[in-house]
């Protein structure tokens, strides 16, 4: 059954998911690390000193926490607490991590929290008039873009949402409002153009759009593939170091396809496909490409976990962190990797 593209639902639907079953690979990290994350609960944020020296994997959970692991070893070294429905994540060139979340349980506004690599408290908190979802940092300017699938200030339709862009990832945003489609996720390319997955009239199918650098107008792009999304998995866009990519997952039980794109004018052509498999193919939430690997979220026997695949080879996970949260109560969504010391 197709659950409908995430942008057609309220954001809370992404955090009211039934428990599922997924693959079982050899977990990474020391035994008991997943149980440690569950025991932490919604207590005070903490961070082990060793975190500063490692690449770090950040995973947001609807229990109000963001769990932080060494990557790729998978040892839990931090829990950042006190969020209201933390959602999408992204990282800048300095390794600072941005986390989007509701401002309060009943608010139509959001907050974006910036954490230094290995930091246990935010160094900046930004306000967003919409329901913030995904985010991306422009490598050419340091500007931060936030995708809002719902925004009561959109003069055309609040369900079309908005894009908020913060100059230098600070201050108040410049707002961009689509007038004929709804925002899902966003990602900058290497030249400062912002790409977005958007939804239109066809349930469960997304389109690709662009907000070109220096432009205030959204342009729809044609693409020679169908981009699927559902209530568990919003299709995302990200620059992989060589090409723009877009992800697609038709429904539970199907693998994720990560398409590499060649883009000319208003046409995107698929030039490569990475297939991400897990035992039961229960994928959800955000994907994040980190060099020669891609990390994502899956459900495994009623628990939410994180997997890593070789990129662009794909296939079955090479690494896995099992049982981060109980999926009957909570779900995972945002994920990103912050690089530590230069390799």
Q: In whole angstroms, what separates CA 56 from the centre of its chain?
A: 15
Segment 2-26 mean pLDDT: 32
234-243 pLDDT tens trace = 999 999 999 9
Say what the pLDDT of residue 251 is.
87
Q: Is the pLDDT of residue 11 over 90?
A: no
222-270 pLDDT tens trace = 999 999 998 789 999 999 999 999 999 998 889 999 999 999 999 999 9
- Tell me the backbone φ, ψ of residue 39, rounded to 5 degrees: -70, -20
Strands 267-276 and 218-223: parallel
Which has more confidence, 259 or 1? 259
Helix (H, G, I), strand (E, B) or coil at 169: helix
Q: How far apart are CA 337 and CA 57, in angstroms?
A: 5
Q: How far apart are CA 164 and CA 302, in angstroms?
A: 35
The DSSP output letter for 101 is E
């Amino acid at each position: 059954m197709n659950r409908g593209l995430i942008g057609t639902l309220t954001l809370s639907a992404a955090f009211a998911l039934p428990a599922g079953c997924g693959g079982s690979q050899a977990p990474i990290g020391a035994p008991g690390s997943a149980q440690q994350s569950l025991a932490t609960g919604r207590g005070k944020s903490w961070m082990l000193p060793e975190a500063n020296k490692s690449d770090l994997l950040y995973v947001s959970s609807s229990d109000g926490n963001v769990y932080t692991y060494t990557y790729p070893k998978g040892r839990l070294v931090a829990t950042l607490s006190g969020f209201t429905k933390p959602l999408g994540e992204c990282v800048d060139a300095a390794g600072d991590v941005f986390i989007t979340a509701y401002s309060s349980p009943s608010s139509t506004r959001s907050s974006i929290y910036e954490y230094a690599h290995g930091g246990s408290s935010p160094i900046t908190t930004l306000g967003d008039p919409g329901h913030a979802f995904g985010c991306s940092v422009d490598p050419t300017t340091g500007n931060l873009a936030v995708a809002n699938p719902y925004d009561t200030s959109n003069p055309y339709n609040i369900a079309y949402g908005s894009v908020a862009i913060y100059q230098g990832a600070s201050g108040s945003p410049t707002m961009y409002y689509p007038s004929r489609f709804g925002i899902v996720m966003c990602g900058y390319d290497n030249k400062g153009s912002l790409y977005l997955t958007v939804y239109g009239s066809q349930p469960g199918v997304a389109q690709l759009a662009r907000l070109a650098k220096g432009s205030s107008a959204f342009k729809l792009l044609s693409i020679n593939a169908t981009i699927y999304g559902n209530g568990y998995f919003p299709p995302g866009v990200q620059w992989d170091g060589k090409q723009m990519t877009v992800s697609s997952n038709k429904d539970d039980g199907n693998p994720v396809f990560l398409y590499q794109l060649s883009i000319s004018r208003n046409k995107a052509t698929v030039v490569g496909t990475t297939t991400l498999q897990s035992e039961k193919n229960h994928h959800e939430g955000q994907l994040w490409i980190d060099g020669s690997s891609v990390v994502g979220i899956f459900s495994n026997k009623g628990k939410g976990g994180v997997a890593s695949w070789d990129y662009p080879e794909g296939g079955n996970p090479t690494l896995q962190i099992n049982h981060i949260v109980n999926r009957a109560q909570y779900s995972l969504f945002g994920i990103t990797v912050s690089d530590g010391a230069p390799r």
